[in-house]
């Protein structure tokens, strides 16, 4: 099957192994790495900044006319509306097959500074539990507010900061079937992540969205791990949370698609740290002029990262979260001048700058949520990055 990562005139067999691009990536301005199950992309050099996602299509068309090629826009879009995106059209784009298909060496050990990281949770765990309890109270008083996603951060600081290339290598080895990325985050900062959730991909007229909602932490005990997975598939709270997200994706994509296939029940997917309820939605576009980025912007933010209804949930997030999400729970990926592309939800990510590494994790809160359980879920989600820097437990 041809994938969206392939050059328009080249079969997948002609692409180099994704591991070559992983080895070539170095963090810095106008440099981006994106790896998914179907391929890998490395972008370098600034041809043009794209601060407004809505202008991406026009700027790509102008670049295509000027250079007679198929230019790409790559980078990240923030959670909050009205904020500048961190998108750019690179001077050079290299593509490769999936990294998981490469004969990669064993991942490097965590950096020597890994065990020297100091941790500061924002908010403190007790404050996060209080915020969840307040959200539950408001949902019980106002049934029209069905769900809100509340996040917290973990700020890590160490002399010398993070070794981003080593972290990226370890993230890919930990979850080779997910989406791993490193893109500029403004100034000297870099956004690094390993998201399990595909927001929208497009290849020709074919589109795919894979919303995730409803989660359970993995267990090192195989029997307990299977018990948790089975319990997740029968959990009324998690099934309801998942249904909110899938319904929102369906309602958003229906006007754009001549046909849309939405499975009646979710399936399970797993990462190294979590089980997730998953639904793969597929469709065929009515209009080939509708790009992957157009659809990603229409879907963003889904209830999986914001809540239901969107405006009310976003307002509550602003009142209860004591930090700016920035690019977290936004969108990250790439799109080309033909309209093809792949955009994922910016989850399991960290913002690195200087000696600081700021991790993010969130949990979907519904009327049946238990504050302690949501705190534990966010702690489990932090483990993806804690493993990458040589730490295992979050505060």
Structure-block tokens of residue 322: 């004591």
Q: Catalytic residues, which ones?
A: 147, 197
Q: Is 311 exposed, middle or buried (0-12, 13-18, 19+ CB in 10 A)?
A: exposed
* Whole-Å CA distances, 367 to 133, 238, 375: 9, 11, 16
Tokens of 12: 């997948």
With helix as H, strand as E and coil as C, how does the chain read? CCCCCCCCCCCHHHCCCHHHHHHHCCCCCCEEEEEECCEEEEEEEEEEECCCHHHHHHHHHHHHHHHCCCCEEEEEECCCCCCCCEEEEEEEEEEECCHHHCCCCCCCCCCHHHHHCEEEEECCHHHHHHHHHHHHHHHHHCCCCCEEEEEEEEEEECCCCCCHHHHHHHHHHHCCCCEEEEEECCCCCEEEEEECCEEEEEECCEEEECCEEEEEECCCCHHHHHHHHHHHHHCHHHHHHHHHHHHHHHHHHHHHEEEEECCCCCEEEECCCEEEEECCEEEEECCCCCCHHHHHHHHCCCCCCCEECHHHHHHHHHHHCCCCCCCCCCEEEEEECCCCEEEEECCCEEEEECCEEEEEEEEEECCCCCHHHHHHHHHHHHHHHHHHCCCCCCC
Pairwise CA distance, residues 196 & 36, whole Å: 10
């Amino acid at each position: 099957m041809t994938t969206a990562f392939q050059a328009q005139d080249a079969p997948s067999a002609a692409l180099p192994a994704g591991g070559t691009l992983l080895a070539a990536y170095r963090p810095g301005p106008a440099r981006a790495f994106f790896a998914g199950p179907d391929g890998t992309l490395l972008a370098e050099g600034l041809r043009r900044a794209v601060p407004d996602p809505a202008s991406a299509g026009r700027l790509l068309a102008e670049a295509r006319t000027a250079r007679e090629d198929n230019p790409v826009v790559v980078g990240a879009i923030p959670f909050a509306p009205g904020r500048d995106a961190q998108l750019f059209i690179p001077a050079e784009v290299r593509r490769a097959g999936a990294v998981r298909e490469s004969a990669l060496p064993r991942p490097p050990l965590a950096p020597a500074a890994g065990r020297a990281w100091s941790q500061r949770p924002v908010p403190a765990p007790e404050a996060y539990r209080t915020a969840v309890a307040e959200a539950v109270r408001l949902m019980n008083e106002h049934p029209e507010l069905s769900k809100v996603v509340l996040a917290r951060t973990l700020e890590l600081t160490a002399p010398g900061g993070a070794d981003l290339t080593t972290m990226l290598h370890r993230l890919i080895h930990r979850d080779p079937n997910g989406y791993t990325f490193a893109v500029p985050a403004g100034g000297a900062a870099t956004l690094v992540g390993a998201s399990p959730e595909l927001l929208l991909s497009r290849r020709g007229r074919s589109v795919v969205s894979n919303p995730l909602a409803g989660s359970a932490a993995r267990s090192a005990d195989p029997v307990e791990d299977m018990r948790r997975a089975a319990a997740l598939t029968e959990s009324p709270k998690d099934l309801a949370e998942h249904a909110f997200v899938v319904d929102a994706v369906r309602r958003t994509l229906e006007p754009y698609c001549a046909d849309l296939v939405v499975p009646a029940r979710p399936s399970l997917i797993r990462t190294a740290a979590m089980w997730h309820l998953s639904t793969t939605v597929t469709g065929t576009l009515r209009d080939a002029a509708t790009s992957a980025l157009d659809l990603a912007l229409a879907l963003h933010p889904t209830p999986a990262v914001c809540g239901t209804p969107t405006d009310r949930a976003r307002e509550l997030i602003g009142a209860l979260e004591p930090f700016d999400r920035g690019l977290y729970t936004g969108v990250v990926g790439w799109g080309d001048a033909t309209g093809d592309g792949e955009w994922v939800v910016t989850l399991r990510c960290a913002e690195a700058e200087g000696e600081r590494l700021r991790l993010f994790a969130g949990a979907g809160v519904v009327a049946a949520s238990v504050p302690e359980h949501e705190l534990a879920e966010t702690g489990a989600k932090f483990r993806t990055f804690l493993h990458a820097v040589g730490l295992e437990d979050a505060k």
